[in-house]
Structure 1
């Protein structure tokens, strides 16, 4: 089994890090540009495997689209191929075939798309068989499972003969990601009417206009560097993250406010954002409904800095690359903490336990965020991360960049 040993940081540092590009923004821009007939010009696309998979599948003409483990790619391409009337068998890894797609498929069937499941109802693989007539211009979809279903429908909406009205049912999570989709659509010339008082999104039939568009750096990837600074033991440690914008479309830019409570000050510069150390608060509460991908990052910081915490809005973590709630509950114990469910599917607490003396060996569960969230713990103690190659999903350069502040030994 591959692993990487991260040795405890012992020196102060002042570094500039050229962050990876945003996978979330890249994948949306790729779909919209495809709906423009590939006539736009996209700059700074992510090197992440998920994005490279999207690029490949948009170019391929075969009847099978294997998205590997890319959830966003699966959801966005299902709607894209449906709207284009293409016959495609959508499939992926064994874990991808355990991740639900039923809510999106039901909505597409309502519109008039013919889709058949090939194994288990509600899960990939599924065969998109055709779309000849729009049967409905209105769908209702739960807002609390995955915003990617909603974004997937939104992006194809203007290309439908009758447009589309989307009624969001119940609580709506990850609204910043839906807003990112809407803003990108509007950048490409499409108007979206969003009535958040009634949770209704309406898109009339329109045409996208191809443009030149530059992708921002990735705030999700930035979060691990916030952890590095938060856990650094030298007061003068600082990192400038390049390519980030203060008024970002990305929901994970919430890390600025979160880490201001956990010991990191953000100062925006011409080139990005400068991270410096400040005093943290003694306790922490956060609702992760709009930024669930930050949970693992923050949990490790809470445990390592011995700051007890209360989390809400993390239910969607159970259907990600792995069951991230279970993964955190298992791996945090190796650092001296627990993630305890105190209200079913609602409230969780970070509780501090005795710190084990042995070097923690962190399993990654085929989940890129487990590897990157736990790596900064090495600012305070030696850590071993198993299967470090999982980072290629979103941030292939992560270990190379991390070597700027942490000495590493790879064991293949």
Structure 2
């Protein structure tokens, strides 16, 4: 299936954003660990959260989490401490996403996790039991989801857990988000230098409401930047958010979008400010990279983006995917060192009717769709991949005046 997308250059609307899947999935783990009787309010209805909900309500011992990377990592750690024998698997792409760092760390502190096919990758067999805990040494350059998975189960371990992070730490805001939420469920931590300490403790049940998703908001910032005139109210966002992607409000100032915080969320308006060139290290906000690559090219703003080392192990190799798909639109992007993307203004002949491949990656679909504001013909392949994080995305685009036709 493909969607033919036609944009609109003038937008005046309000959007109830999707709930944050990052917060939702953490909240589900913490709710389970606290034996809370309270439901999570404003829980995300995306695929990644749905598979978590199904796992917690299932009486099976086999869990297929599809393409949900967060769920794979969080549930692997959670199940390692639940008595019983469990199998967790996912899509073909998921079975190519490495998980050895988490598995080795879990086994080092008393877990029993083994690989069923290829060493270092799902599917996994887990024999859940009480965990001793202790100390683990991890590279600070790994996905924060591995670290968060360990942190959330740390208080339940006999000795608690001390995590030593070696080298530069990436995605710090996501680790801070995990620790903040753990504190809201009654467990405090100590983070000094590159060492995080969690002592044995019990979570307490609390009533919890999930904030809207700043990652989803980034596509509305992109839409505002590419428009001729925009006034967009996004509901459910907080100024003091623990989400790293809230950085989007600051970054888009240089691409012509101002942010006003209100009691209900934010209001975006189009301005005339446009940077001559954009530089940013995305080490703390890697999920924003696709949004900024597409936006900058279509606004003719050269860029140098660094800190993208985790993009190769996301739902797809996002660095390669961006190079291939942007070339279809007439932009030649270069990369180096597996962590840098650059565009110096070089262009090529665009395809007449470009079809954007989405690579089973929700962010490819959502980052490229706004390009229809500037382009006369744009097709998005496998558009329903957006259900991974933002199921109502296409309906929201229609609400503000985009024309979307299934072909």
Query: Which bracket does the TM-score occupy, shorter chain normalised?
Result: over 0.9
Question: 1:77: Cα distance to partner?
Answer: 0.3
Matched, 1:251 2:244: yes
Distance verdict in 2 for CA 1:300–1:162, change over 3 Å? same
Question: 1:263: Cα distance to partner?
Answer: 1.1
Distance 1:103 1:378 in 2: 40
Match of 2:316 in 1: 322
**Aligned residue pair count:** 404
Distance 2:292 2:270 in 1: 16
Match of 2:5 in 1: 6
Match of 1:296 in 2: 290
TM-score, length of structure 1 as denominator length: 0.95
Asked if the contact 1:41–1:210 (Cα under 8 Å) also holds between the matched residues in 2, the reply is no
Distance 1:215 1:132 in 2: 30
Distance 2:29 2:326 in 1: 37
Paired residues for 1:21-60 under 5 Å: 21-60=19-58
TM-score, length of structure 2 as denominator length: 0.97
Asked if the contact 1:304–1:335 (Cα under 8 Å) also holds between the matched residues in 2, the reply is no
Cα deviation 1:92-113 (Å, max 9, x = unaligned) = 0100000010000000000011
Q: Structure 2: 5+ residue runs without aligned partners? A: none
Match of 1:283 in 2: 277
Distance 2:66 2:209 in 1: 26
Asked if the contact 2:151–2:198 (Cα under 8 Å) also holds between the matched residues in 1, the reply is yes
Question: 1:37: Cα distance to partner?
Answer: 1.4
SS in 2 for 1:337: coil
Match of 2:117 in 1: 119
Asked if the contact 2:130–2:157 (Cα under 8 Å) also holds between the matched residues in 1, the reply is no
Match of 1:306 in 2: 300
Cα deviation 1:159-215 (Å, max 9, x = unaligned) = 1111000111221110000000000000011011111x2x10100000001011110
Q: 1:181 aligns with which of 170, 178, 184?
A: 178
Question: 1:132: Cα distance to partner?
Answer: 4.6
Asked if the contact 2:330–2:351 (Cα under 8 Å) also holds between the matched residues in 1, the reply is no
Distance 2:251 2:204 in 1: 37
Asked if the contact 1:300–1:332 (Cα under 8 Å) also holds between the matched residues in 2, the reply is yes
Question: 1:86: Cα distance to partner?
Answer: 3.3
Distance 2:24 2:98 in 1: 23
Q: Structure 1: 5+ residue runs without aligned partners? A: none
Asked if the contact 2:7–2:403 (Cα under 8 Å) also holds between the matched residues in 1, the reply is no
Q: 1:100 aligns with which of 98, 101, 106?
A: 98
Asked if the contact 2:131–2:157 (Cα under 8 Å) also holds between the matched residues in 1, the reply is no
Match of 1:242 in 2: 235
Distance 2:7 2:23 in 1: 34
Distance 2:349 2:131 in 1: 61
Distance 2:348 2:332 in 1: 10
Asked if the contact 1:5–1:385 (Cα under 8 Å) also holds between the matched residues in 2, the reply is yes
Distance verdict in 2 for CA 1:288–1:156, change over 3 Å? same
Distance 2:39 2:131 in 1: 31
Distance 1:142 1:295 in 2: 22
Cα RMSD over matched residues? 1.3
